Chain A
Amino acid sequence: MIELNPLVELIIMNFAVGLIVTISLNIEVGYLRIPQFGRLLAVIVGAVIAAAVPGRILALYLGLPYGAEYADHMYNAKIVIQINNFLSKNLLLSLAVFILTLVLAALAGGVIGYLCAYPALRLKGSYLGITLLTFGEIVTSIAWNYQPLVGGTAGVYMVNPFAFVGSGSSSLAALITLTIAISIYIYAEILARSPFVRMLKAIRDSEVASEVYGKNIVKARAQTLVIGGAIAAVAGALWATYTGRMNVASYTRLTWTFWPWAFMMLGGVGNNLGILVGVLLFTLARTAIIQYKYVITSVIPIAAEWLEYILVGLVIIFVVMFKPQGLMPEKPTLTLPRKAIEEIRKRVEQEQGRL
Chain B
Amino acid sequence: MIDVTLVIKAVVYSISIALGAVGISIIYNATKTFNFAHASMVAWGVYIIFAFFWFTKYIPELFLPIAFLFSGFLGVVTYVTVNRRLIMAKASDINLMMSTLGVDLILFAFLNIFADYLMYTHKIGIAKGFVLETWDPRIKILDFEVRLAWIVAPVVFIIMFLFIYIMFSRTKLGIAMRATIENPELAQLQGINPEIVYLFSWFLGGGLAGLSGGILSLVFAGGPTIGMETVVTFFAGAIVGGIETVYGCFVGGFLVGLSEYLIPPILAPLVGSWINSYRMVIPLTMMVLTLLIKPSGLGVIIERRLR
Query: Do A138 and B292 touch across chains, with their CB atoms under 8 A apart?
Result: no
Of the listed stretches B133-141, B188-196, B280-288, name the one at the interface; the rest are far from the partner chain. Answer: B280-288
Contact check, B86 vs A321: say whether CB atoms are below 8 A apart.
yes
User: Measured between alpha carbons, how far is A314 from B106 in the docked complex, in Å?
Assistant: 7
Does any Cβ of A come within 8 Å of B217's Cβ? no
| Contact string against A for B residues 258-286, beta-carbon threshold 8 Å, 1 for contact and 0 otherwise | 00000000000000000001101100110
Q: How many residues of B contact A (CB 8 A)?
A: 39
The answer to whether A316 and B105 touch (CB under 8 A), given A138-B285, A142-B278, is yes
Any chain A CB within 8 A of the CB of B185? no
Say yes or no: B232 contacts A310, CB within 8 Å. no
Contact of A320 among B99, B232, B278, B292 (CB under 8 A): B99
State the majority secondary structure of interface residues on A. helix
Q: Please, which residues of chain B bring their CB within 8 A of the CB of A135?
A: 288
Segment 256-290 of A: residues with Cβ below 8 Å from B: 258, 261-262, 265
In the complex, chain B residues 188-241 whose Cβ is within 8 Å of any chain A Cβ: 228, 232, 235-236, 239
| Docked complex Cα distance between A123 and B288 (Å) | 11
Task: Give A134's nearest chain B residue, CB to CB.
Answer: B284
Q: How many A-B residue pairs have CB under 8 A?
A: 120
Determine whether the beta carbon of A265 is less than 8 Å from that of B278: no
A33's nearest neighbour on chain B, judged by CB, is: B94
CA distance A309 to B113 in the complex (A): 11
CB distance from B225 to the nearest CB of A (A): 10
B77-110: which have CB < 8 Å to A? 82, 85-86, 91, 93-95, 97-99, 101-106, 108-110
B239, A302: Cβ atoms closer than 8 Å: no
Determine the distance from Cα of A260 to Cα of B278 in the docked complex, in whole angstroms: 28
Considering the complex, give the chain A residue whose CB is closest to the CB of B290: A131
B50 to chain A, nearest CB (A): 18
Q: Which residues of B contact A122 (CB under 8 A)?
A: 291-292, 295
Contact of A321 with B295 at beta-carbon distance under 8 Å, contacts A258-B101, A265-B98 already known: no
Q: Is the CB of A310 within 8 A of B86?
A: no
Smallest beta-carbon distance B96→chain A, Å:
8
Q: How far is the CA of A134 from the CA of B292 in the complex (A)?
A: 12
Say yes or no for B61: interface residue by CB 8 A criterion: no
**Chain B residues close to A by CB (< 8 Å):** 34, 82, 85-86, 91, 93-95, 97-99, 101-106, 108-110, 112-113, 116, 228, 232, 235-236, 239, 277-278, 280-281, 284-285, 287-288, 291-292, 295
> Which A positions have Cβ atoms within 8 angstroms of B?
33, 35, 118-119, 122-123, 125-127, 129-131, 133-135, 137-138, 141-142, 145, 254, 258, 261-262, 265, 302-303, 305-307, 309-310, 312-317, 320-321, 324
18 new A-B pairs (CB below 8 Å) besides A134-B235, A137-B232, A313-B104?
A122-B291, A126-B34, A129-B34, A131-B287, A131-B288, A134-B287, A134-B288, A137-B280, A141-B284, A142-B278, A142-B281, A145-B278, A261-B98, A261-B101, A303-B112, A313-B101, A317-B99, A321-B85
